[in-house]
Chains A and B, each alone.
Chain A
């Protein structure tokens, strides 16, 4: 019984972490149809933002929940203005350009921060369930991810900013003729996606070592999750994360972590063969 609870918690934590690392990419891909291969480096920058902020005496939670998203969000806006805006509608070129950006950021981070592993220790202790122990911090991450997803849904559905963003993405010409400054909307949307990636990096930083190349480990997984999810940003990411995260955890539990990862990747390939438009191309089509 206790074991079942622990495994269930692990599945939930795995799903939440997939949602966390994918949601920034999902916003940028789903809203703007831009594949941002520098996503992993946005995560890396978020993690470094936490490391440096805490070194300068900022409270860890403030650093994670406020400083990192703002810093990376601003970087995202700069990137959109200097690179991405020239490439709208040229999907392959955006992929290549952001890949170049990704290499550039890895190299720059290696030169600035050094090729050493930094880290902050995980806050909060553990919780005991029967004879097993699990980390409280992972449960907090689950709660934060749930809050972020709900907030994102609420913003998109109920606020004027969300309405304007959705309208611009659906029909930019019409939105522009109604007086909306579409290039501003693009910049802010890209910034918001980057900020979410920064948040992801910040929340991950206590769990994994922070190195300039850490983004590589996340970008492919996030990319696969978002593509498997399909066109609806939030529902797609949630459903794909649930499916892939559960498979990953179960395979890890039965075999090894490597097999778990491979199962996740392989499941995504099979999924795309069956549902080429992703999960929300077939189910939950009207969802957000």
Chain B
């Protein structure tokens, strides 16, 4: 798309989303609106992974860890403070700090893609097991009992800043969640246009070349990972406000789902994962009510088919189709759905190719 067309598309998109934010509460029933808020909070989670995986090239198998940490921090702090204002801030800071700590461990250790996946997955499992084992009176943080497998059913809702007396209604939480999604989406786009964002993308494209150009790769990765952690924390706060916090927030189910949303929506786009998150949740919810087929079968098949046939995801596929329609005389070469396979067999695990569809590099510096 030309810059002008892309600008126009953003303005239209912004208008449509603002209209949707204000129209939906009058159209939907309360129950559906709360569900919509959950979808939106999940879309923010998808956006956080879209940023760190799609643009940072960091495949985090444990985005649910930051999500759960955000939710738990919010619940525990809100119960202790009585007021949700400080809790919200804390619930962004704690996951961000934890992401920074974990990121320091991983990026300064120069751990490869696969190992990074293992470590993030393991971290999530540790949280899941620990929080599951917190049943009973012995496990209390201040006034908040962690409640083991049951979580904290009495998660307090958000209130107006510094005004404990006025808790927010579900409609208000919808407005906040949806506006946050729009805000974070445009914020992410802005972030990627800054020089920081450009360096992050260049590292995804070719880590060694960026390093030889003088950028400290580790810091940039740490930066984007921390931002992703904070965003997942925000998603956790919103989720805690719609449902309540429990150890399932740390479960493999959520980590897997986020990855599926991003893959289906399109790695390397911001809008795709948001659409993927909302659409797939609606499909799964619909299938859940039908009780004909297990939702896992559908989710698994979708992921499998997309990796095999549409590895770039839905949004890039639609965009290239759109561009082709507009310029029928000079068709854009579309990569074959199944890229030429190479065989395994180097002596040690080779650095995996960057996840975003770049041509397989012939040498590590990427020169041709």
The chain A residues found within 8 Å of chain B, CB to CB, are: 32-35, 83, 85-93, 95-97, 99-108, 110-111, 168-173, 182, 186, 216, 220, 223-224, 227, 231, 256, 258, 261-262, 265-266, 268-269, 272-273, 276-277
Tell me the smallest distance from the CB of B268 to a CB of chain A, in Å.
13
Known pairs A97-B303, A104-B297 / 18 extra A-B pairs, C-beta < 8 Å: A33-B346, A89-B353, A90-B353, A91-B114, A96-B307, A100-B302, A100-B307, A103-B299, A107-B293, A111-B297, A170-B345, A223-B121, A224-B122, A231-B348, A272-B119, A276-B111, A276-B115, A277-B348
Q: Which residues of A contact B348 (CB under 8 A)?
A: 231, 277
Number of interface residues of B (CB under 8 A): 58
Task: State whether A107 touches B105 (Cβ < 8 A).
Answer: no
Q: Is B344 in contact with A34, judged by CB distance below 8 angstroms?
A: yes
CB–CB B119/A103 < 8 A: no
> Bound complex: CA of A142 vs CA of B144, how far in Å?
45
Q: Would A168 and B311 count as touching, CB distance under 8 A?
A: no
Tell me whether chain B's interface is mostly helix, strand or loop, or mixed: helix
Binary CB contact string for chain B from 105 to 123 against chain A (1 if under 8 A, 0 otherwise):
1000111111101110111
Given A93-B307, A172-B344, CB of A258 within 8 Å of CB of B129 = yes
Q: How far is the CA of A104 from the CA of B311 in the complex (A)?
A: 18
Let me know if A220 and B343 touch, CB within 8 A.
no
B307 close to A110 (CB less than 8 A): no
> In the complex the two chains form, what is the Cα distance from A168 to B343 in whole Å?
10
Determine the chain A residues whose CB is within 8 A of the CB of B295 once the complex forms.
Answer: 107
| Cα of A170 to Cα of B343 in the assembled complex, Å | 11
Of B59, B125, B303, B349, which contacts A265 at CB under 8 A?
B125
Q: Can you spell out 9 A-B residue pairs with CB atoms less than 8 angstroms apart?
A: A35-B117, A90-B339, A102-B300, A103-B296, A111-B293, A268-B122, A269-B119, A273-B109, A276-B109
Q: Which residues of A contact B123 (CB under 8 A)?
A: 269
Contact of B304 with A by CB under 8 A: yes
Counting chain B CB atoms within 10 Å of each CB, which of A93, A231, A268 scores highest?
Answer: A93
Report the separation of the CA atoms of residues A93 and B353 in the bound assembly, to the nearest whole angstrom.
10
Chain A residues near B352: list those with CB within 8 A. 90-92
| Residues A276 and B112 in contact, CB atoms below 8 Å apart | yes
Chain A: interface secondary structure? helix
Q: How far is the CA of A227 from the CA of B113 in the complex (A)?
A: 12
Closest to A32 in B: B344
Known interface pairs A92-B352, A168-B345, A171-B345; A99-B259 also in contact (CB < 8 Å): yes
**Docked complex Cα distance between A258 and B132 (Å):** 9
Measured between alpha carbons, how far is A171 from B343 in the docked complex, in Å?
A: 9
- Distance in angstroms from A272 CB to nearest chain B CB is 6
Looking at the assembled complex, report how far the CB atom of B77 sits from the nearest CB atom of chain A, in whole angstroms. Answer: 24
Q: B256–A108 contact, CB under 8 A? A: no
Residue of B105, B297, B338, B341 with most chain A CB atoms under a 10 A cut-off: B297
Q: Is the CB of B304 within 8 A of A104?
A: yes
A266-B300 contact, Cβ under 8 Å, with A33-B350, A83-B308: no
Q: Which B346-366 residues have a C-beta within 8 angstroms of A?
A: 346-350, 352-353, 355, 360
With A92-B355, A99-B259 already in contact, the answer to whether A170 and B347 are too (CB < 8 A) is yes
Pair B121/A103 contact, Cβ less than 8 Å:
no
Cβ of B336 to closest chain A Cβ, rounded Å: 11
Number of A-B contacts defined by CB within 8 Å: 161
Q: Does B342 have its Cβ within 8 Å of any Cβ on chain A?
A: yes
B126 on interface, CB distance cutoff 8 Å: yes
- Cross-chain contact B296 with A106 (CB below 8 angstroms): yes
Q: Which of A35, A110, A261, A277 contacts B129 (CB 8 A)?
A: A261
Most buried by A among B122, B130, B311, B339: B122
Residues of A close to B296: CB separation below 8 A: 103-104, 106-107, 110
Q: Which residue of A lies closest to B339 (CB)?
A: A90
Instruction: Kindly state the separation between the CA atoms of A262 and B124 in the bound complex, as whole angstroms.
Output: 11
Interface residues of B in 288-314 (CB under 8 A from A): 293-305, 307-308, 311
Chain B 329-344 interface 0/1 with A at a Cβ cutoff of 8 Å (1 = within): 0000000001101111
On chain A, the residues within 8 Å of B94 by CB distance are none
Hey, which chain B residues are within 8 Å of A172, CB to CB? Answer: 343-345
Contact A107 B341 (CB under 8 A): no
Shortest distance in angstroms between B192's beta carbon and chain A's nearest beta carbon? 21
Chain A nearest Cβ from B145, distance in angstroms: 18
Shortest Cβ gap from B56 to chain A (Å): 14
Chain B residues, CB < 8 A from A92: 59, 113, 352-353, 355
Known: A106-B296, A220-B122, A227-B115. A33 touches B307 (CB 8 A): no
Query: Nearest Cβ distance between residue A102 and chain B, in whole angstroms?
Result: 7
- Among B109, B129, B301, B360, the residue within 8 A (CB) of A100 is B301
Q: Are A169 and B345 in contact (CB under 8 A)?
A: yes
What distance in Å separates the Cβ of B260 from its nearest Cβ neighbour in chain A?
8
Of the residues A89, A105, A216, contact of B344 by C-beta under 8 Å: A89
Q: How close is A70's CB to chain B, nearest CB, in angstroms?
A: 25
Q: Is B252 positioned at the interface, with any CB of A under 8 Å from its CB?
A: yes
B235 at the interface (CB under 8 A from A): no
User: Closest Cβ of chain A: how far from B54's Cβ, in Å?
Assistant: 12
